[in-house]
Amino acid sequence: MVAALSFASVVPGVVQAQAPKPLADAKKVIVTPKSGTLNFTGDEYGFFQASTQVRDFDALFSVTNPELPEFTIGIDFRVVTFSRFYALLILSTGETGLLVARGLDQKMELQKEPVFAPSWKRNVGERNDVALYVRGTQALLFINKQFIETYDVSEINDFGDVHLLAAGGAGQSGEIAYKNFTVKVPNNALPPTSNGPTNNNIVVSLYRSGYTQWGRPIGMVDPRQGCQSFNDGSPVLQFQAVMKITNNTKTPMKRWAPLAIKRDGTLAFGCALAYDTSPEIAPGASADITVEYYIEKTDAIASIFVFDLEQGRSNRLQTAAP
């Protein structure tokens, strides 16, 4: 749970003397300014999801400090799957840190030692302006126009979604108001028409698939919680795919994920049955896997494929509409 994270055991970092300046090369606005509230209850986060695929971008927003003893706000970015992404977190104390999720077990680790942001305003009702600039292997964080930290983001260098998130302390419920959430990209930083290089030696074949109505998984609200629970009062479509993945390369497949693309080109939320992590597939071997993807009732799955971190993308299988 994000709100339960504590950086207190880490020695505060030191803000660099020669601070970078905010970047100014991103001119194309792909998420126009949005304002609203992020509502969270207990262990459920408040999310605003920008359904767009970006790698290099500017994310800018303002938050007003709520009347809560503790809270967390942040940005998920380069969200390739619900278990592979970065999460920049800012605690109500002004501590900031970047976490990285590396696999289907959703384990998250700090990318480097957290730092305190001296420019963070802590009083109730005060506004804080946050700007995150991500370019290639580097991310720069500014709070209230002051440079805070540089992060290495070379491990996940893929196009992915951007999420604005908020949470309270353990068991707390509440809301945080945000204003002018904007995402901009450099003109040459739009996503490619394909999802990375195709490796014809990774082959996906489908045993069977089909749609059924199902309760909304908690992971569609908070991706970190996966399919731990379902809300029958908020029905969605479940697309179940039973597939075979064959590794015809000379290298074991160790870090891969089965993905589904919706009609609008964005990734669908999914859960692999019986696996906490992707099973390793030896060269020349195959693995059978069942994945359940969840979409809104008005949507549909357009295609499915496998993405391997080292090998690239498999063939893409087109799927029938509901």
Render pLDDT for 201-211 as a digit per residue (tens, 0 to 9). Answer: 899 998 888 99
CB crowding 164-200: b at 16 or more within 10 Å, else e: bbbbbbeebebbbebeebbbbbeeebbeeeebbeebe
Model pTM?
0.63
Enter the tokens of residue 254. Answer: 């160790």
266 or 14: whose pLDDT is higher?
266
Give the pLDDT band (50/70/90) at residue 240.
very high
Q: Within the chain, what is the greatest distance between any pair of CA atoms?
A: 60
What is the pLDDT, as a whole number, of residue 8?
39
Q: pLDDT class for 103, splitting at 50, 70, 90? A: low
Query: Can you tell me which residue has the tokens 């305190």?
Result: 116
* pLDDT for 179: 93
Asked if 268 and 295 touch (Cβ cutoff 8 Å), the reply is yes
Average pLDDT, the chain: 82
The domains of the chain, with CATH numbers, are 13-185 (2.60.120.560), 202-318 (2.60.40.4110)
Q: Which amino acid is at 211?
A: Y
- pLDDT of 218 strictly over 70: yes
- What is the Cα–Cα distance from 78 to 159, expressed in whole angstroms? 6
Contact 272, 104 (CB under 8 A): yes
pLDDT tens-digit readout, 75-97: 999 887 667 789 999 999 999 99
| Confidence check: pLDDT of 176 > 70 | yes
How far apart CA 204 and CA 305 sit, in angstroms, is 7
pLDDT in tens, 247-288: 998 999 988 888 888 887 778 888 877 655 678 999 999 999
pLDDT of residue 124: 94
Is residue 128 scored above 50 in pLDDT? yes
The answer on pLDDT for 4 being more than 80 is no
Instruction: For residues 231 and 221, give the distance between their C-alpha atoms in angstroms, rounded to a whole number.
Output: 11
